[in-house]
Amino acid sequence: MSDNASFPNTRMRRSRAASWSRKMVSETTLSPTDLIWPLFITEGEAVEEPIAALPGVSRWSVDNIVARAGDAIALGIPCIALFPNTQADRRSDDGAEALNPENLMCRAIRAIKAAHGDAIGILTDVALDPYTAHGQDGLIDESGYVLNDETVAVLVDQAVNQADAGADIIAPSDMMDGRIGAIRKALEMNGHSNVQIMSYAAKYASAFYGPFRDAVGSRGLLKGDKKGYQMDPANSDEALREVAMDIAEGADSVMVKPGLPYLDIIRRVKDRFEIPVFAYQVSGEYAMIEAAAAAGAGDRDALVLETLTAFKRAGCSGILTYHAAHAARLLRAKA
């Protein structure tokens, strides 16, 4: 900007006066192709289980997940993210169900691919918390400490299991050290060289995850907390180190989680690294928007689009959001 800019030669409001002009000078654009839609899977057939902590979000049986994938394709959403609600009798301390080729995740992947082929991408969560009886993301010792290297060995097998079923993007959310390199090596060795890794590289020990834990059935199971492996919300330099390590180990893209409270982290990562950066607008963020709208504290549609635009402005290539379908409909109506 010129140092000589002054009023009235410069009137900043000129370009804001008309809708066509505001569109012409817009610096950030948001479209359905920027969205990834997280979906929760449950057992049964023709099942929809509304999630009380996430108004408007449900768990779906595999057949209904296939239908939701069709909805995403019709709305122009390029990718869905899958999360299973594993039944209690299939949870164990070692999370063995994660390695079952017939688990909920793998059945859903195969069903979506059979119905839709490559018309939509499938991103799968790699972590043990949906499968453990104790709710932690990894294996634990007698004291409850989450074991790093032993957990990584299981995560590698979990990732290959999902890739064998047809997953397009493996997204490790566990925050164990070294797991990206180990998974990348295993994918290459097992013929999955084109399967991407989107690393949850900067995942914080956040207070915004509560509704998600309800959705996957782990809230009441969790013993202790996850501060021993998820990041301290006070740290930002540490996030850059985490991202750098995951890129070096073979991540194709990285994620910052949660989203809106960590826009500064997104911007720092985007400025430092030449790699696609994604954000997860997590369950607590979604629930706050829904609560604000229900209370009359803000217009729901405007709140949804403004927050998603903020992610793009901060440098995101895309956003995982439970509002994906609703946002895509709003964007298509505006186009």
**Tens place of pLDDT per residue across the chain (335 aa):** 556 778 988 888 889 999 989 989 988 999 999 999 999 999 999 999 999 999 999 999 999 999 999 999 999 999 999 999 999 999 999 999 999 999 999 999 999 999 999 999 999 999 999 999 999 999 999 999 999 999 999 999 999 999 999 999 999 999 999 999 999 999 999 999 999 999 999 999 999 988 887 777 766 788 789 999 999 999 999 999 999 999 999 999 999 999 999 999 999 999 999 899 999 999 999 999 999 999 999 999 999 999 999 999 999 999 999 999 999 999 999 87
Query: Alpha-carbon distance 236 to 72, whole Å?
Result: 34
The catalytic residue among 203, 226, 270, 312 is 203
Q: Is 185 a catalytic residue?
A: no
Catalytic residue among 113, 226, 257, 270: 257
Pull the structure tokens for residue 17. Answer: 């006066």
User: pTM for the whole thing?
Assistant: 0.94
pLDDT of res. 37? 98
- Catalytic status, residue 23: no
Helix residue ranges, H only, the chain:
19-24, 62-75, 104-116, 148-165, 179-189, 210-216, 237-249, 263-272, 283-294, 300-314, 324-334
> What is the rounded CA–CA span in Å between residue 55 and residue 207?
18
